[in-house]
Structure 1
Amino acid sequence: MTDFYDKLEARDPAEREQDLLAALPKQIAQAQTAAPAFAKILDGIKARDITSRDALAKLPVTRKSELLDLQKAHRANDPFGGFAAIHFGPRMTRVFASPGTIYEPEGEARDYWRTARALHAAGFRGGELVHNCFSYHMTPAGALMESGAHALGCTVFAGGTGQTEQQVEAIADLKPAGYVGTPSFLKIILEKAAEKKVALPSMTKALVSGEAFPPSLRDWIAERGVAGTQCYATADLGLVAYETSAREGLVLDEGVILEIVRPGTGDPVPEGEVGEIVVTTLNPDYPLIRFGTGDLSAVLPGHCPTGRTNTRIKGWLGRADQTTKVRGMFVHPGQVAEIARRFPEVQRARLVVEGEMGDDRMTLRLECAAAAQGLAERVAEAIRDITKLRGTVEFVALGSLPNDGKVIEDARSYR
């Protein structure tokens, strides 16, 4: 057992699922009534009927790339494209911009981004000073972590990015308990401190995000006296999952409903299979329903050894948008899924693009229990019909395609 942030973390899984599904219809109704974009996306859906994961899985996925396009299309009337349920004024404390540009609101709720839970799991406690090196300029990362630190009862030094020597000086003078920021910038700070022969004994922990955090970097940082823990959060959703002292995957936040779907579709995959992270948030101010993050992960079996009972994911495993240009034409993961759906015999599909630039070759590899006579020809015809390109078909044994979330593999030589 461990010191939990609150009792929600140790709930019986069945109780948690019941609570999440009870909140789901209310959140869908909130999206339909207060966010005009979702009123259109979910037109005809009866919120009271969405009381199970199967029912949720039938709703459309809104992906981050679509959010950008929809915001731009309606920006003349609403900078948030109809996705925000709050407006300028006291209920919307700040507005942020992410590359694209996507605009995100910040509501007035305490710990709006729900990051206090991740900070607590990383070892931060009330009364400590947090050295925050996420950006405070335009993007929400700095505020996202600061609001969680304040909810935890911490004081925050707004370090922001850059100015490495000044960061080292501030850490030496103020003696913060820990660091928050990207792992690569933490490494730069520690290297600069070593170069300047400045000891930083107070900084013993870190919560990092925004980049991959491989074990090699985690160990390098630990050798210098800092225990690094990671979390997965986005500007749209806030905290999605966080690492614990067990370092066995990331535990889901208590305020989200997560699905792992096959890239290019909204179809949930079996536990353990890599797919795209799709999240429904319970935030009433920005009620994103089945929001496709574009990131890949997979559900881990069992529960965290710390005693937290929520679902765990493996962490960030790459990007789900594998759109590839073949002979001048874009081929999308959704097209591969559409081909596979036409043939019930197909269990899984993977389009492999090979050759050199100007000599592209497509092979659609299919896992089938039994390939009926003429199936290859019919699938090849579907490839031409859907992609407008020719491709060969190869049947492979069940379970032989890699479990890496790839629907399109670009194996071409670019030399």
Structure 2
Amino acid sequence: MDQHYDKLESMTAAERKVYMDGRLRTAVSRAYRGAPASRAMMLETGVRPSEIKTVADLEKLPISRKTDLIDSQKLAPPYGGYYIGKPEEIERIFVSPGPVYEPLHSSKIEWFARSFWAAGFRKGDIVINTFTYHLSPAGTLFQEGLRDCGATVIVAGAGNTDIHIKTIKDLSVNAFVGTPSYLMSLIKKIEETGGDYRKDYRINKAWFTGEMLSPSIRKVLESDYGIDTYQAYAVTEPGGALAYECSDKSGLHLMDDYVIEIVDPLTGKQLPPGEVGEVVVTPLHNPHWGLLRFGTGDLSKMLIDNCPCGRTAPKLAGLLGRSGEAVKVRGMFVVPKQVETALAAVAEVGRFQLVVRRNGTRDELTLITELKSGVTANLELQNRIESVFQKTSIVKLDSVVLLPPGTIAADAKPVIDERKWD
């Protein structure tokens, strides 16, 4: 099954360095010429494109973050100065939470194909894709990658669990794409309603992204249900899968369509393999998107080894936490700054906190709000708060807690992540 997607996956270290440095020089030069935001950044920092010759030289440039991208698209709509090309040449526009608008020329999008190929997806597989197709690029990107591998895709999207269960049975689905918690919830519902998952369902492989695949859930899926599990690390703004598992499952191989740095979140300086830092991404694959050094806020470390699968790219050691305040819930980012902006429309609300907990295999998101003096908690106010939050974030709240004034400390963190990952 470890037949490689293409020859790039088995390049020597020297070949990969030449290949990546060459593509990086092209990307930086292209961004400087065609993306006003990147050109302004480089002029402000006094760095010429000719000074970025290798991946190590990226330290000379500052790191941009999701909040910067959101702000830039507000100041210079609609693409924030990162689009390279003529508007009439755009074929698709992806919308990710923020919102962030990402234009694309090419109608062929195989960006995730390597990760699906490494997980054994091939022609003859019937795959249910449970990621949303609505106001998010995830569903479409995954579908295109699966098709590039020859698999048949059921365009299910996020939706009704009962319909998904019926579809999986009726169409003899043998492969799943989604989050690990959602697959577990499907299996549990089948069993709770009297079904026999092992007897009546055929899913034997699963590809996950959007949330951590804990060792305990992987063990249950593989040992108890015979499902071969794989995970990929994807970030929307750079546009694709950054790293993916092979059958060895000892880390996630880096994609050659991106320059991936592990840096000190405070200084932006690159860290050596084995040290934990922030994942910073420069996309190389989309010639019309001039984003350089995008800070994901995710923490990981680089691994250098001789993988038995024969792929030679370095690996990421999974996700080890978050360096910033933005939090990923059920596969989507929730950004406190966005929540603050949304809640500004509710005059009765003061300070707030987001609390993320883990209930079994599902993330739960609670919004705690402090009411202003003289305001009484009521259902209408709670519904209004939920409504403005939903307009900002794709992730749906599980609960809203209304508290009296003075309850939340002035220096309290905007996000409390109480999840435990074994």
Match of 2:125 in 1: 128
Structure 2: how far apart are the matches of 1:298 and 1:188? 31
Contact 1:25 1:49 in 2 (8 A): no
Contact 1:251 1:304 in 2 (8 A): no
Task: Give the counterpart letter for 1:218 in structure 2.
Answer: R
Structure 1: how far apart are the matches of 2:306 and 2:109? 26
TM-score by length of 1: 0.74
Match of 1:152 in 2: 149
Match of 1:294 in 2: 297
1:162 equivalenced with 2:159 (yes/no):
yes
Match of 1:104 in 2: 102
Structure 2: how far apart are the matches of 1:173 and 1:12? 46
1:5 equivalenced with 2:2 (yes/no):
no
Match of 2:113 in 1: 116
Structure 2: how far apart are the matches of 1:198 and 1:287? 50
Deviation of 1:204 (Å): 0.6
Contact 1:259 1:278 in 2 (8 A): yes
Q: Deviations over 1:109-163 (max 9, x none)?
A: 5225x10000011110123221100001101110110110121122210111121
- From the superposition, tell whether residues 291 and 209 of structure 1 become closer, same or farther in structure 2 (CA, over 3 Å): same
Task: Give the counterpart letter for 1:47 in structure 2.
Answer: P
| SS, match of residue 258 in structure 1 | strand
Contact 1:104 1:235 in 2 (8 A): no
Deviation of 1:8 (Å): 1.0
How much identity, in percent, do the aligned residues show? 39
Q: Deviations over 1:17-38 (max 9, x none)?
A: 1111012111111111221111
Deviation of 1:86 (Å): 4.0
1:308-323 aligned at under 5 Å gives the runs 308-321=311-324
Match of 2:233 in 1: 232
1:79-90 aligned at under 5 Å gives the runs 79-89=78-88
Structure 1: how far apart are the matches of 2:316 and 2:220? 24
Task: Give the counterpart letter for 2:166 in structure 1.
Answer: E
Deviation of 1:262 (Å): 0.6
Structure 2: how far apart are the matches of 1:50 and 1:99? 31
Contact 1:131 1:180 in 2 (8 A): yes
Structure 1: how far apart are the matches of 2:162 and 2:194? 9
The structure showing larger relative contact order (alpha-carbon pairs under 8 Å, at least 6 residues apart) is 2
Structure 1: how far apart are the matches of 2:172 and 2:73? 43
Match of 1:363 in 2: none
Structure 2: how far apart are the matches of 1:359 and 1:116? 47
TM-score by length of 2: 0.73
Deviation of 1:245 (Å): 1.1
Contact 1:303 1:312 in 2 (8 A): no
Task: Give the counterpart letter for 1:161 in structure 2.
Answer: A
Deviation of 1:48 (Å): 3.0
| SS, match of residue 220 in structure 1 | helix
1:12-411 aligned at under 5 Å gives the runs 12-43=12-43, 44-75=46-77, 79-89=78-88, 91-112=89-110, 114-194=111-191, 195-199=193-197, 200-222=200-222, 223-237=224-238, 238-282=240-284, 283-321=286-324
Instruction: List structure 1 segments (4+ residues) > 4 angstroms apart after TM superposition.
Output: 356-360
Contact 2:55 2:259 in 1 (8 A): no
Structure 2: how far apart are the matches of 1:8 and 1:172? 38
Superposed CA RMSD in Å reads 2.6
Structure 1: how far apart are the matches of 2:183 and 2:246? 19
Structure 2: how far apart are the matches of 1:126 and 1:86? 35
Contact 2:2 2:247 in 1 (8 A): no
Question: Unaligned regions of 5+ residues in structure 2, if any?
Answer: 327-335, 337-350, 352-406, 417-422
Q: Deviations over 1:349-370 (max 9, x none)?
A: xxxxxxx98698xxxxxxxxxx
Question: Unaligned regions of 5+ residues in structure 1, if any?
Answer: 329-355, 361-409, 411-415
Deviation of 1:295 (Å): 0.9
Task: Give the counterpart letter for 1:227 in structure 2.
Answer: D
Contact 2:251 2:317 in 1 (8 A): yes
Higher radius of gyration, 1 or 2: 1
- From the superposition, tell whether residues 204 and 357 of structure 1 become closer, same or farther in structure 2 (CA, over 3 Å): same
